[in-house]
């Protein structure tokens, strides 16, 4: 039977349950946003205030540090943000570049131990970060990479390269081989065909992969919490440092949380069509 | 006319290896070495803090220590409890909500996208605002409980409740993952199969259990396995939400490892625990991979 | 078993009307084939009878009882889908018993029914296998078995043979007809393949553009097409349609106005219509080739045969009149190409109104 638009009882119940879930899913984010705009008094009032006079004091506290003697300085959060953008950004670009190359190779060529290679690549996504971190900690200290942006970029390539390879392989699989074969038959080189024919066709795929990798790098905490201390500190580490302290300026922390979330929300919106692929290493949701 | 000369500089084989090389080198450097060093260190009594003290080879003692240690076992039990509870709750909720989303209504796609968002957020931030909302005195959760006449709950101070606090936060964050995959599974079922069932007189429930569920099982199992693996190694959400507390009530294996390595700096012991964790994850992952491969074979058959 | 009545059935998809007011009575135990080109509304009609689509207007009655608002299950109809719609996760036995299990039939009843249907379709060896690797013919049998296992009021088939190989198709077609007669179930069969329609139907419902063009038994629809569309659509190749003009008791063919000698009685019949222009339809098998000279009284005219093709025992020859290509079919060997006389068996000719396309006689 066709979907009728009449509001039957069954339909009403279904929509009601969905509505409840939407509220559950969205309320914490709305609450966080509201908190970032509250004064200290409003924050801790009970019952909680849903209507209040918004203030940007949390955001101000986040960006400007006021010292005891009354001097005001731009807070270190600016440097932290710069670190996060640079490290996540560079790590993402490199991971996507390498993943695009290896994904293409995996999609088009047969090579020795291909299955093992792909499994090996996939394993980077399964690894418990904390377990490897023990060794990384030592290795990075010896190599002088600890608390360097370069070291962190290297790490974030590692975090994302498996994902990038698998998703990109999925996108390349969706591009018909004839495309390159025609070019090869006509005397063009494989590299030319890759650059001029295949890459333009997976532009959307590359964009989506970039989105995913950036989100994961931007959110990454476990590695960053140990490898970075000051110079290369990223936003999640900075926020977590605030967590332990009691009597904390929650509005400021909430503001930092919002700051961290905004780029994710934007990227999430842009890559929404590819979510399935991104969350399952391209195992599901392939677009043929 | 002069013949166009486009040199075919590289053979396909050369291109292939050239494309694979950087990824391979990076992975070897960044994975294999740490892995070997993890194994190596796990056989020594060693601390990075006391680098001057020479490492002492103690064989399997580090492993034996953890395997016979009651405290560690309790960590495993807690981790297992958390994983089983959280994953099964998320699984049922996710499948259920995806099923409800089969109903068409205005703005369905937008709302569907919206509810998927939590899984993309930083676990640190998620932990942060749940910690805020779970606050006993002025948290939103207790306020809502008080509205329906329930007493305030000490969410993060009482071990029983703190387990549930972590489960609720994890469920909030990761149910969308199951929703996403279940939705994909459901929409992959051909419409004609439902029509055939309608004609054959199947009721809604009969269709769900005899058509929808079995046909979406492959994808649902993928979802389940991935969630098992991910929640087993979950660390950052705990770090932000409970800090392992109260006391060590919500300390997972990952968390214990983190503390052993970076709070007490028992590097050797931590390496052994890391190996144990790795072996479990590899075990789970290989089930996952084997399952995927068998699915692939079935499809090609 | 039931008699199915459609009263002014209409179905719109948005602004597109797929079925435009269909009136049809399908008698109990009758085998009716809905035939027509794709997009003619035949599948939509079938789905409305099944209950998978709810009509925009009109009524559907089973044995006089209005079922328009009933769900498929309540109508006790069975349907065979174009691509079988078999459950890949179930063994054949479970697929066949699905309708029985859905209705919570007793174990004993289910066992008996499976035995009965397996015997009828000779599919004992398939019962404990999954359908995944089966050839389409076997899948088809299972789909049919599932459809008839619960004694449906009406059996509905949506292009059931189109997914089969040519070879299987013949066999299944025969079996299908046989089983329908055995079960005596009212059957509605949708196809675009006129051969299936011709061999299976008690009555063909020829449809175009959401309307019925003609409904008649196969033989009649072939011999006496009700209009130009039916004439051309049925038959392979279809009926030749020549534009002709009646002038002073002479029938002139084509632009060049070649005079065609024809019997007086036909001229008289045409004359009463007080029209001058007609479409003359004649099936290829009623065309023949005479030598250079036509005999007295025969309706022949000179034409150039530009190509031929062998179809089994027959030879189809193609010729042109005014840029239009026409076909004839003869049982003759040897070279036919070249100049010749094409002769009509005028007793088999049919005349249509040039404007409306309706048959005159």
The residue whose two tokens read 């590097």 is B267
With beta carbons less than 8 A apart as the criterion, state whether A190 and A184 touch. yes
Residues A157 and A57 in one domain: no
What's the CATH number where A154 sits? 1.10.3720.10
pLDDT digits (tens, 9 = 90+) for A198-209: 999 999 999 999
Arithmetic mean of pLDDT, A76-95: 93
Nearest-10 crossing angle of helices B267-300, A114-126: 130
Measured in whole angstroms, the distance separating CA C40 from the mean position of its chain's CA atoms is 12
Q: pLDDT at position B273, please? A: 92
* Structure tokens given for B16: 């292939």
Query: Which one of A3, A48, A265 has the shortest CB-CB distance to B138?
Result: A48
Cα(A209)–Cα(C17) distance, integer angstroms: 44
Which pTM does this prediction carry? 0.85
Residues of C in contact with A2 (CB under 8 A): 53-54
With beta carbons less than 8 A apart as the criterion, state whether A134 and B267 touch. yes
By C-alpha distance, the chain C residue nearest B201 is C73
With beta carbons less than 8 A apart as the criterion, state whether A62 and A250 touch. no
Average pLDDT, chain B: 88
Cα(B237)–Cα(B254) distance, integer angstroms: 11
Buried b (16+ CB within 10 A) or exposed e, B13-47: eebbeebbebbbebbeebbeebbebbeebbbbbbb
Residues A43 and A144 in one domain: no
**H-helix segments, chain C:** 42-50, 72-75, 92-102, 107-121, 136-148, 166-183, 194-200, 218-223, 228-233, 264-271
Cα(A224)–Cα(A237) distance, integer angstroms: 7
pLDDT digits (tens, 9 = 90+) for C143-193: 999 999 988 989 999 999 988 888 888 888 888 898 898 899 999 999 999
pLDDT at C41 over 80: yes
With beta carbons less than 8 A apart as the criterion, state whether B162 and B246 touch. yes
CATH topology of domain B64-300: MetI-like fold (1.10.3720)
Q: Determine if the peptide bond prior to C325 is cis (ω within 30°).
A: no
CA dihedral A25, A26, A29, A35 (to 10 degrees): -120
pLDDT at A1 over 80: no
In chain B, what are the domain boundaries?
64-300
Residues A222 and A89 in one domain: yes
- CA within 13 Å, CB half, A278: 26
The residue whose two tokens read 């995806």 is B98
Q: pLDDT at position C28, please? A: 93
A2 at the C interface (CB within 8 A)?
Answer: yes
Q: pLDDT at position B7, please? A: 52
A9 at the C interface (CB within 8 A)?
Answer: no
Is 0.90 exceeded by the ipTM?
Answer: no
Q: Determine if the peptide bond prior to C174 is cis (ω within 30°).
A: no
Is residue A44 included in any domain, yes or no? yes
A1 at the C interface (CB within 8 A)?
Answer: yes
Which of A26, A54, A74 is where one domain is finished? A74
Which of residues 132 through 171 in chain A touch B, CB cutoff 8 A?
A: 132-139, 141, 154-155, 157-158, 161, 165
Q: pLDDT at position A7, please? A: 63
A and C: number of Cβ contacts within 8 A: 7
Residues A161 and A205 in one domain: yes
CATH topology of domain C240-353: OB fold (Dihydrolipoamide Acetyltransferase, E2P) (2.40.50)
Task: Please judge whether C71 and A1 are an interchain contact, meaning their C-beta atoms are less than 8 angstroms apart.
Answer: yes
> Which of A169-183, A237-251, B35-49, B216-230 has the weakest average pLDDT?
A237-251
Q: pLDDT at position B61, please? A: 87
Q: pLDDT at position A2, please? A: 43
pLDDT digits (tens, 9 = 90+) for B111-120: 999 999 999 9
* Structure tokens given for A71: 């001097």
* Structure tokens given for A167: 């998703």
Q: pLDDT at position A5, please? A: 52
By C-alpha distance, the chain C residue nearest B204 is C102
* Structure tokens given for C90: 């179930």
Q: pLDDT at position A3, please? A: 47
Q: pLDDT at position B77, please? A: 93
Task: Please judge whether B138 and A276 are an interchain contact, meaning their C-beta atoms are less than 8 angstroms apart.
Answer: no
* Structure tokens given for A92: 């993402």
Contacts of A241 (CB under 8 A, 6+ apart): none
Cα(C167)–Cα(B237) distance, integer angstroms: 63
The residue whose two tokens read 């705009």 is A37
For residue B225, is it left (φ>0), alpha (ψ between -120 and 50) or beta?
alpha
- Considering all CA atoms of chain A, what is the largest pairwise distance in Å, rounded to the nearest integer? 76
Higher per-residue pLDDT: B87 or B7: B87
Arithmetic mean of pLDDT, B132-156: 89
Would strands C211-216 and C203-208 be described as parallel, antiparallel, or unpaired? antiparallel
pLDDT at C246 over 60: yes
Q: Determine if the peptide bond prior to C188 is cis (ω within 30°).
A: no
A10 at the C interface (CB within 8 A)?
Answer: no
Cα(C130)–Cα(C91) distance, integer angstroms: 4
B279 at the A interface (CB within 8 A)?
Answer: no
Higher per-residue pLDDT: A42 or A105: A105
Cα(C195)–Cα(C235) distance, integer angstroms: 8
Which of A74, A101, A118 is where one domain is finished? A74
CA C173 to chain A, closest CA, distance in angstroms equals: 30
Measured in whole angstroms, the distance separating CA A97 from the mean position of its chain's CA atoms is 17
By C-alpha distance, the chain A residue nearest B240 is A240
Band of pLDDT at residue A182, cut at 50, 70 and 90 = confident
pLDDT digits (tens, 9 = 90+) for C299-355: 888 888 888 888 888 889 999 888 889 999 988 777 778 888 888 888 888 999 988
Arithmetic mean of pLDDT, C207-236: 93
A284 at the B interface (CB within 8 A)?
Answer: yes
First vs last Cα of chain B: how many Å apart?
Answer: 52
C89 at the B interface (CB within 8 A)?
Answer: yes
* Structure tokens given for B80: 């297992």
pLDDT at A65 over 60: yes
| Residue (of B158, B171, B32) closest to B89 by Cα position | B171
Arithmetic mean of pLDDT, C110-131: 91
pLDDT at C288 over 60: yes
pLDDT at B97 over 50: yes
Is residue A286 included in any domain, yes or no? no
Would you list which residues of chain B are within 8 Å, Cβ to Cβ, of chain C?
190, 192-193, 195-203, 206, 210-211, 214-215, 217, 301
Residues of A in contact with C53 (CB under 8 A): 2
Cα(B252)–Cα(B82) distance, integer angstroms: 9
Q: Neighbours of B (≥3 Cβ pairs closer than 8 A)? A: A, C
Q: pLDDT at position A288, please? A: 44
CATH topology of domain C4-223: Rossmann fold (3.40.50)
Residues A18 and A138 in one domain: no
Arithmetic mean of pLDDT, A21-37: 93
CA A73 to chain B, closest CA, distance in angstroms equals: 26
CA C304 to chain B, closest CA, distance in angstroms equals: 50
Contacts of A141 (CB under 8 A, 6+ apart): B48
Strand, helix or coil for residue A177: coil
Strand, helix or coil for residue C130: strand
With beta carbons less than 8 A apart as the criterion, state whether B91 and B223 touch. yes
Would strands C77-80 and C154-158 be described as parallel, antiparallel, or unpaired? parallel
| Cα torsion C14, C19, C22, C28: sign | negative
Query: Which one of C52, C82, C146 has the shortest CB-CB distance to B198?
Result: C52
CA B79 to chain A, closest CA, distance in angstroms equals: 14
Arithmetic mean of pLDDT, B228-244: 90
Q: pLDDT at position C204, please? A: 95
The residue whose two tokens read 């240690």 is B69
By C-alpha distance, the chain A residue nearest C52 is A1
How many beta carbons lie within 10 A of that of residue A54, not counting itself? 12
Cα(A259)–Cα(A261) distance, integer angstroms: 6
A23 at the B interface (CB within 8 A)?
Answer: no
Residues A34 and A128 in one domain: no
Contacts of A267 (CB under 8 A, 6+ apart): A211, A214, A215, B120
Residues A70 and A81 in one domain: no
> Which of B204-218, C247-261, C320-334 has the weakest average pLDDT?
C247-261
Task: Please judge whether C146 and B199 are an interchain contact, meaning their C-beta atoms are less than 8 angstroms apart.
Answer: no
Number of domain units in chain A: 2
Query: Which one of B200, B214, B301 has the shortest CB-CB distance to C102?
Result: B200
With beta carbons less than 8 A apart as the criterion, state whether B116 and B179 touch. yes
Question: What are the two backbone dihedrals, phi and then psi, of residue C158, each rounded to the nearest 5 degrees?
Answer: -105, 100
Residues of C in contact with A1 (CB under 8 A): 51-52, 54, 71-72
What one-character-per-residue DSSP string does C279-331 give?
Answer: EEEE-GGGEEEE-SSPPTT-EEEEEEEEEEEEETTEEEEEEEETTEEEEEEE-
Residues A45 and A145 in one domain: no
C90 at the A interface (CB within 8 A)?
Answer: no
| Residue (of C320, C322, C239) closest to C285 by Cα position | C239
Mutate to test the interface with C, among B201, B219, B295, B301 (most CBs of C within 10 A): B201
Q: pLDDT at position B67, please? A: 87
pLDDT at C39 over 80: yes
The residue whose two tokens read 């006449």 is B149
In chain C, what are the domain boundaries?
4-223, 240-353
Strand, helix or coil for residue B9: coil
With beta carbons less than 8 A apart as the criterion, state whether B111 and B222 touch. no
| Structural domain boundaries enclosing A274 | 77-246+261-279
To 5 degrees, how large is the angle CA C148–CA C153–CA C157? 55
By C-alpha distance, the chain A residue nearest B140 is A48
Q: pLDDT at position B299, please? A: 57
Q: pLDDT at position C233, please? A: 92
């Amino acid at each position: 039977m066709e979907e009728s638009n009449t509001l039957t009882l069954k339909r009403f119940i279904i929509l009601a349950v969905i509505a409840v879930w939407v509220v559950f899913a969205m309320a914490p984010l709305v609450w966080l946003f509201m908190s970032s705009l509250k004064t200290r008094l409003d924050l801790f009032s009970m019952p909680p205030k849903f209507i209040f006079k918004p203030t940007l004091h949390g955001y101000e506290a986040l960006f400007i540090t006021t010292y005891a003697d009354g001097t005001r300085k731009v807070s270190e959060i600016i440097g932290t943000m710069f670190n996060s953008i640079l490290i996540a950004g560079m790590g993402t670009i490199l991971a996507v570049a390498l993943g695009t190359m290896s994904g293409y190779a995996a999609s088009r060529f047969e090579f020795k131990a291909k299955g093992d290679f792909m499994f090996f690549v996939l394993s980077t996504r399964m690894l418990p970060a904390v377990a490897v971190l023990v060794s990384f900690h030592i290795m990075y200290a010896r190599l002088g990479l600890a608390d360097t942006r370069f070291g962190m970029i290297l790490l974030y390539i590692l975090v994302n390269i498996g994902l990038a390879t698998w998703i990109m392989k999925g996108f390349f699989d969706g591009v018909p081989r004839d495309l390159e074969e025609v070019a090869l038959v006509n005397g063009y080189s494989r590299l030319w065909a890759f650059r001029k024919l295949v890459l333009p066709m997976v532009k959307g795929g590359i964009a989506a992969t970039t989105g995913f990798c950036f989100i994961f790098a931007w959110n990454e905490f476990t590695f960053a919490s140990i490898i970075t201390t000051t110079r290369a500190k990223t936003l999640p580490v900075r926020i977590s440092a605030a967590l332990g302290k009691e009597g904390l300026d929650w509005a400021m922390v909430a503001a930092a949380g919002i700051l961290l979330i905004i780029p994710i929300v934007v990227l999430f919106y842009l890559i929404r069509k590819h979510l399935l692929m991104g969350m399952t290493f391209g195992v599901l949701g392939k677009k043929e | 006319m002069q013949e166009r000369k486009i040199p075919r500089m590289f053979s396909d084989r050369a291109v292939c290896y050239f494309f694979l090389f950087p990824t391979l080198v990076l992975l070897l450097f960044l994975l294999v070495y740490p892995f070997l060093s993890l194994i190596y260190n796990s056989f020594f009594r060693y601390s990075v803090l006391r680098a001057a003290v020479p490492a002492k080879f103690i064989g399997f003692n580090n492993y034996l220590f953890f395997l016979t240690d009651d405290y560690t076992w309790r960590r495993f039990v807690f981790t297992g409890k958390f994983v089983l509870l959280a994953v099964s709750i998320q699984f049922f909720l996710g499948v259920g909500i995806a099923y409800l989303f089969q109903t068409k209504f205005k703005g369905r796609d937008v709302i569907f996208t919206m509810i998927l968002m939590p899984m993309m957020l930083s676990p640190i931030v998620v932990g942060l605002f749940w910690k805020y909302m779970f606050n006993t005195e002025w948290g939103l959760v207790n306020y809502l409980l008080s509205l329906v006449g329930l007493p305030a709950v000490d969410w993060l101070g009482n071990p029983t409740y703190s387990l549930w606090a972590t489960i609720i936060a994890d469920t909030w964050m990761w149910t969308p993952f199951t929703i996403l995959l279940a939705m994909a599974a459901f929409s992959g079922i051909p419409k004609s199969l439902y029509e055939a069932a309608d004609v054959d007189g199947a009721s809604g429930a009969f269709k769900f259990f005899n058509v929808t569920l079995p046909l979406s099982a492959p994808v649902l199992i993928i979802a389940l396995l991935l969630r098992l693996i991910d929640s087993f190694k979950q660390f950052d959400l705990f770090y932000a939400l409970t800090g392992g507390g109260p006391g060590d009530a919500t300390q997972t294996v990952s968390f214990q490892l983190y503390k052993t390595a970076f709070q007490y700096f028992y590097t050797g012991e931590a390496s052994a625990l890391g190996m144990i964790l790795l072996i479990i994850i590899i075990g789970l992952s290989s089930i996952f991979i084997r399952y995927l491969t068998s699915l692939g074979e079935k499809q090609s058959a | 078993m039931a008699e199915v009545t459609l009263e002014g059935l209409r179905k719109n998809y948005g602004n597109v009307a797929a079925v435009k007011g269909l009136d049809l009575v399908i008698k109990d135990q009758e085998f009716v084939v809905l035939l027509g080109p794709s997009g003619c509304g035949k599948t939509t009609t079938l789905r409305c009878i099944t209950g998978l689509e709810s009509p925009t207007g009109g009524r559907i009655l089973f044995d006089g009882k209005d079922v328009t608002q009933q769900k498929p299950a309540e109508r006790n109809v069975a349907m065979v889908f174009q691509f079988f719609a078999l459950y890949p996760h179930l063994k054949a036995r479970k697929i066949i018993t699905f309708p029985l299990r859905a209705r919570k039939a007793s174990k004993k009843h289910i066992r008996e029914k499976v035995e009965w249907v397996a015997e009828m379709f000779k599919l004992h060896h398939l019962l404990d296998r999954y359908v995944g690797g089966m050839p389409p013919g076997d899948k088809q049998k299972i789909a049919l078995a599932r459809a008839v296992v619960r004694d449906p009021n009406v059996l509905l088939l949506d292009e059931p043979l189109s997914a089969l190989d040519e070879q299987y198709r013949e066999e299944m077609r025969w079996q299908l007809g046989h089983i329908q007669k055995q079960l005596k179930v009212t059957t509605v069969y949708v196809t675009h393949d006129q051969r299936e329609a011709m061999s299976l139907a008690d009555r063909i419902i020829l449809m175009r553009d959401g309307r019925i063009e003609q409904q008649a038994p196969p033989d009649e629809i072939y011999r006496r097409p009700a209009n130009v569309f039916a004439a051309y659509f049925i038959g392979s190749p279809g009926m030749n349609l020549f534009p002709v003009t009646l002038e002073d008791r002479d029938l002139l063919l084509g632009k060049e106005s070649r005079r065609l000698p024809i019997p007086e009685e036909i001229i008289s019949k045409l004359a009463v219509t007080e029209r001058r222009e007609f479409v003359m339809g004649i099936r290829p098998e009623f065309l023949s080739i005479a030598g250079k000279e036509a005999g007295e009284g025969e309706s022949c005219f000179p034409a150039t045969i530009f190509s031929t093709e062998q179809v089994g025992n027959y030879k189809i020859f193609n010729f042109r009149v005014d840029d239009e290509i026409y076909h004839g079919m003869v049982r003759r060997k040897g070279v036919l190409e070249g100049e010749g006389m094409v002769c009509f068996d005028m007793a088999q000719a049919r005349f249509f109104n040039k404007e409306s396309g309706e048959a005159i006689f």
